[in-house]
Structure 1
Amino acid sequence: MFLKSIKLLKENIPSSKKYPFSIPAISGMDELRLTSPVTFFVGENGSGKSTLMEAVAYQCGFNTAGGSHHLYNPRSSQSDLGDYIRLGWMPKVKNGFFLRAESFYQFASHLEELSEDPLSGDVFGAYGGKSLHEQSHGESFLSLFLNRFGSKAIYLLDEPESALSPSRQLTLLRVLHDLTKNGDTQFIIATHSPILLGFPDADILSFDDEQITKRTYEDTDHYQITKYFLENRERFLEELFKEE
């Protein structure tokens, strides 16, 4: 554990009506205490989880377009919330990575450009030795997890399941286990996946209900809806498709 807390600097907020402070979970935030090597952010789209994730990445010094400290898109290296939070470290680490699923293609293109510069060395060595554009979306994600991720670092993953099949989500769970078992690696993950949320002893912070609250795995909508659907598929679909 390195990152211990995320505090909203309320005294610096210009207006509660201005984005992102118009998001209830953000405006109502005070200080989040992180107590597990793996913390999940859950909530509906627009609930603020990705906004906070981006702000944490900004304060870590990562490119908010995705990646680590490489500045490959200056216009995407800012955060609406980043200057209004304070991170509590013990100790602070500089190593890590911000995976942003929606902009991973741009990150892969950045690596492609670097590889054409002879002074850049083996650019793809940390990604399985192969261009990310020459792999499927899911394969490129796994190459990142299996080759780029290591100990003594913090990793921020925004919806990593978007490119992963259920079996590959299980592979990611194994990566989380192997990297956190010695207590020297930390993950914060925004996700909708009931598979990833099943990681043992993780903290789950929900951004729904206009505040950030801690939930158990079984209390999440992700678990309850998936469980009900799998156990009552025909009835569920009959109700869903019923004509008014």
Structure 2
Amino acid sequence: MSRRSGRTINLPAPYLKRIWLDPLQVHDREVYPFCLPIFPDDFELNFEAAVTIIVGENGTGKSTILEGIAALAGYDDAGGGKGYMPVDHSEAREKMGGQLSKALRASWLPKITNGWFFRAESFFSVARYLDKAARDAGQVGPDFLSHSHGEGFLRFFEERCQRQGIFIFDEPESALSPARQIEFLKLLRRMEESRICQVIMATHSPLLMAYPNASLLRLTRAGLEPVRLRETDHFKVMREFCDDPDGFIDAALDQQGR
């Protein structure tokens, strides 16, 4: 349970129920990110499970959607929790992700602003920010950077991601070996079983996509659609590789050279 505005929140996740695009707030369809095919006038995304996983090729808009959701929750789009601003990028935000957050609308039950937005690409900036904030307060910093990249990720997840809130992960597997990805799956299980954590994640890892009970969505240039693990391009490619590693690599390199 958690307290917010003087009352106890004991409802289970998911707390963010739905997001949609307000066409009245989209003033120029030629401007990024509204020019992306994933944002038609009737764009809508429903969250029916505590864990939602979004998959898709680079450039389809996965990170863009996560940034918009993070902004709705009050998080900085470089990562962190509410009130954190690890990177001064206000100008870039206004030009890009900020426009999306202004046009997005959300349905909550209830509105939750506790949690974290994790971005692999900005992890070091956020970790340094946390250390400095702790020192400024006369405390000992968490010092996530004293570990290897992957160990730092896992320690960060263990310490920050099991409280009540909404947690947004953008490619958390980027520094995790397959064994460490399994450890991350165990963390997801604990978060789900707590019933107080909502997870929205974008990933390229078939291991993470296989998390049971998750709502798995595929993002293509035509929009979002439910998908099964075995139907994803990521799984198909890895299956072909595992069936015949040498033949797969030879064929891929031959095709690249043509």
How does the TM-score come out when normalised to structure 1?
0.91
Give the partner amino acid of 1:185. Answer: C
Q: Does residue 95 of structure 2 align to residue 73 of structure 1?
A: no
Secondary structure, aligned partner of 1:114: helix
Cα distance in 1 for residues equivalent to 2:213 and 2:41 = 26
Contact 1:41 1:206 in 2 (8 A): yes
Cα distance in 2 for residues equivalent to 1:201 and 1:180 = 9
Contact 1:26 1:48 in 2 (8 A): no
TM-superposition CA deviations, 1:76-118 (whole Å, max 9, x none): 594231111112111111210000111111111112222332x
Correspondences of 1:153-232 after superposition (within 5 Å): 153-232=165-244
Contact 2:135 2:141 in 1 (8 A): no
Partner of 1:121: 139
Contact 1:28 1:210 in 2 (8 A): no
**Percent identical residues:** 35
1:179 CA drift (Å): 1.2
Partner of 1:23: 36
1:145 CA drift (Å): 1.1
Unaligned runs of 5+ in 2: 1-13
Unaligned runs of 5+ in 1: 125-130
1:73 CA drift (Å): 2.7
Give the partner amino acid of 1:150. Answer: Q
TM-superposition CA deviations, 1:177-226 (whole Å, max 9, x none): 01111422110001000000000021111111421111111111111111
Secondary structure, aligned partner of 2:182: helix
Partner of 1:111: 130
TM-superposition CA deviations, 1:26-58 (whole Å, max 9, x none): 236521111111111111111011001001001
1:74 CA drift (Å): 3.8
Partner of 1:128: none
Q: What root-mean-square deviation, in Å, do the aligned CA atoms of Structure 1 and Structure 2 show?
A: 1.7
- Structure 1 residues 116, 200: CA separation in 2 closer, same or farther (over 3 Å shift)? same
Secondary structure, aligned partner of 2:80: coil
**Count of aligned pairs between the two proteins:** 237
Deviates more, 1:73-82 or 1:166-175: 73-82
Cα distance in 1 for residues equivalent to 2:42 and 2:62 = 12
Which residue, 9, 14, 19 being the options, matches 2:27? 14
1:157 CA drift (Å): 0.3
TM-superposition CA deviations, 1:134-186 (whole Å, max 9, x none): 11111111111111112321100000000111111000100000111142211
Cα distance in 2 for residues equivalent to 1:120 and 1:190 = 36
